[in-house]
Chain A
């Protein structure tokens, strides 16, 4: 039971990292990044493959952040010519391109069968303690990322991002370089998502393209929206609720239902959908929105 809870906590904390990254891009900057999973995948594959090539894991994780961030840079530059909403389409395209590269570039990614045998973090520890150690490392990473983002949010940098989110043309008229701010927000968010991917790879020790479907992107979106776009604390709460729902609904049969696997799966998503609709009806700004959106 403990190891199950630790496993959920680890996946939950990885989703928190993804959520905090998206909250920077969407909640602060207003970027509709529907390709978030791409940065996650690039981070996971970069760190996984480099560690298999013999690099020390901390270095692999740093490389994962750098590469995931760098891959988002062209996406930011594209916003020069794109009106806000079209970024959403381009970003979905980007994440699907990344996924098909993972599926088809056998020489690099080993294709659809995935990459097994990735070195685990803290591999010298016995299995049970290893999980706890990874969880603690993730807690520290989440705390650092949270503090970093809170600092940036309160700084003139975050204020400029929110100004661009609220009215791009007005910000440009006040001498703000829109593309530069958007690119920085995308790249920093992608680097954080890359870190999440690296943790994911070195926790599961196996990654494959089918783990990086758009469903991941939209789960993170649900977490940020339920929690309260623009608020880092809200994002953490939203992720917690999302994981509670995703995991909790696994045990529906214990309530006396007798459903087979696929029925249960369908019911879970109906419940999650209903929860999202109810949340948007009664708390349209999310459960814990930034103070500027309360009331």
Chain B
């Protein structure tokens, strides 16, 4: 279980996060919505170690994650994506996934020169998993293309696949639907729902209200660095404060 408690973060005098607390269970999807500048992406960065919170804690299954470097947070099973896709542009699509699936122990100099037999074994296992993932994401046809040549929507899929190669327990997904064509959108919805079935604890930031209401078990409404409201999609949609706070300041 992910437990975020009383996270504060300021940049100079600007208080971006003012005491955010939330809990999320394995096998659930929590949607995080809110107007631009509400602090949603900052919250993700604070949870995933990319920003050090000024106060508060992040606990994953009883282990404290705040204060750890981002790679160590990821190694403990909490993995994020970025609002703007960050593909490894020069690498092939397949290699993007294989990098994510490889252990650091197989990525050492000694692993390449001395223990190459073991490394090659692990490598073929990683390749098999990566190829499966490409099938699942409908990216098999572009496996050997460079990632920078993918469309925006394909990059979103690749980024999702890359995080899954790490075998995350918690997944923070920043705007999966931004810039995704309608044809790919339904596919993405199905992938995200499958994460829940796989028992992953998923947090999603999204401006596409329709999509987020469809896939989320719980919704958190973030306004000006604080949680305005939390509840099921139905509860949140009924609440008049959401309409004024969210839709009022950000045209949907």
Interfacial residues, chain A to chain B (CB-CB below 8 A): 148, 151-152, 155-160, 162-163, 165-167, 169-178, 180-181, 184, 188, 230, 292-293
Set A165, A173, A180: member contacting B80, Cβ < 8 A? A173
Residues from chain A with a CB closer than 8 A to the CB of B107 are 155-157, 159-160, 176, 181
Digitize B110-139: 1 where CB-to-A-CB distance is under 8 Å, 0 elsewhere: 011100100100010000000000000000
Q: How far is the CB of A104 from chain B (nearest CB, A)?
A: 36
Q: List 28 A-B contacts (CB under 8 A).
A: A148-B113, A151-B112, A155-B107, A155-B112, A156-B99, A156-B111, A156-B112, A156-B119, A157-B108, A159-B91, A159-B95, A159-B102, A162-B88, A162-B91, A163-B88, A163-B95, A165-B90, A166-B91, A171-B88, A173-B50, A173-B71, A173-B82, A174-B74, A174-B166, A175-B166, A188-B109, A230-B90, A292-B90
**In the complex where A163-B88, A292-B90 touch, is A174 in contact with B100 (Cβ < 8 A)?**
yes
Whether A184 and B88, one on each chain, are in contact in the complex, defined by CB atoms closer than 8 angstroms, is: no
Told that A160-B99, A174-B74, A176-B107 touch, could you supply 10 new A-B pairs with CB distance under 8 A?
A157-B111, A157-B112, A160-B104, A162-B88, A163-B99, A171-B71, A173-B163, A175-B74, A175-B166, A292-B92
**5 tightest A-B CB contacts, nearest first:** A155-B112, A170-B86, A175-B74, A166-B88, A175-B75
Q: Residue of A at shortest CB range from B104?
A: A177
Distance of A178 Cα from B166 Cα, bound (Å): 16
Whether B112 and A174, one on each chain, are in contact in the complex, defined by CB atoms closer than 8 angstroms, is: no
Whether B71 and A175, one on each chain, are in contact in the complex, defined by CB atoms closer than 8 angstroms, is: yes
Instruction: Count CB-based A-B contacts (< 8 Å).
Output: 117
Whether B106 and A162, one on each chain, are in contact in the complex, defined by CB atoms closer than 8 angstroms, is: no
Give how many B residues have a beta carbon under 8 Å from the other chain's beta carbons. 42
Distance of A163 Cα from B108 Cα, bound (Å): 14
Set B79, B89, B113: member contacting A174, Cβ < 8 A? B79
Q: Which of A151, A159, A181 has the most CB of B within 10 A?
A: A159
Residues from chain A with a CB closer than 8 A to the CB of B86 are 167, 169-170, 173
Whether A156 and B88, one on each chain, are in contact in the complex, defined by CB atoms closer than 8 angstroms, is: no
**In the complex where A184-B109, A292-B90, A292-B91 touch, is A175 in contact with B104 (Cβ < 8 A)?**
yes
Q: Residue of B at shortest CB range from A160?
A: B107
**In the complex where A174-B100, A175-B71 touch, is A152 in contact with B109 (Cβ < 8 A)?**
yes
Residues from chain A with a CB closer than 8 A to the CB of B80 are 173
Distance of A188 Cα from B112 Cα, bound (Å): 14
**In the complex where A175-B74, A177-B71 touch, is A152 in contact with B112 (Cβ < 8 A)?**
yes
Q: Which of B80, B102, B119 has the most CB of A within 10 A?
A: B102
Q: How far is the CB of B171 from chain A (nearest CB, A)?
A: 11
Q: How far is the CB of B92 from chain A (nearest CB, A)?
A: 7
Whether B88 and A157, one on each chain, are in contact in the complex, defined by CB atoms closer than 8 angstroms, is: no
Whether B119 and A155, one on each chain, are in contact in the complex, defined by CB atoms closer than 8 angstroms, is: yes
Distance of A64 Cα from B39 Cα, bound (Å): 52
Q: What's the dominant secondary structure at chain A's contact region?
A: helix
Digitize B54-89: 1 where CB-to-A-CB distance is under 8 Å, 0 elsewhere: 000000000000000111101100011110001111
Distance of A162 Cα from B146 Cα, bound (Å): 13
B98 at the interface (CB under 8 A from A): yes
Residues from chain B with a CB closer than 8 A to the CB of A152 are 109, 112-113
Residues from chain A with a CB closer than 8 A to the CB of B113 are 148, 151-152
Q: How far is the CB of B241 from chain A (nearest CB, A)?
A: 33
Q: How far is the CB of A230 from chain B (nearest CB, A)?
A: 8
Whether B162 and A174, one on each chain, are in contact in the complex, defined by CB atoms closer than 8 angstroms, is: yes
Q: How far is the CB of B110 from chain A (nearest CB, A)?
A: 9
Q: How far is the CB of A250 from chain B (nearest CB, A)?
A: 38
B48 at the interface (CB under 8 A from A): yes
Distance of A165 Cα from B91 Cα, bound (Å): 10
Residues from chain B with a CB closer than 8 A to the CB of A173 are 48, 50, 70-71, 74, 79-82, 86, 163
Set A148, A156, A166, A170: member contacting B90, Cβ < 8 A? A166
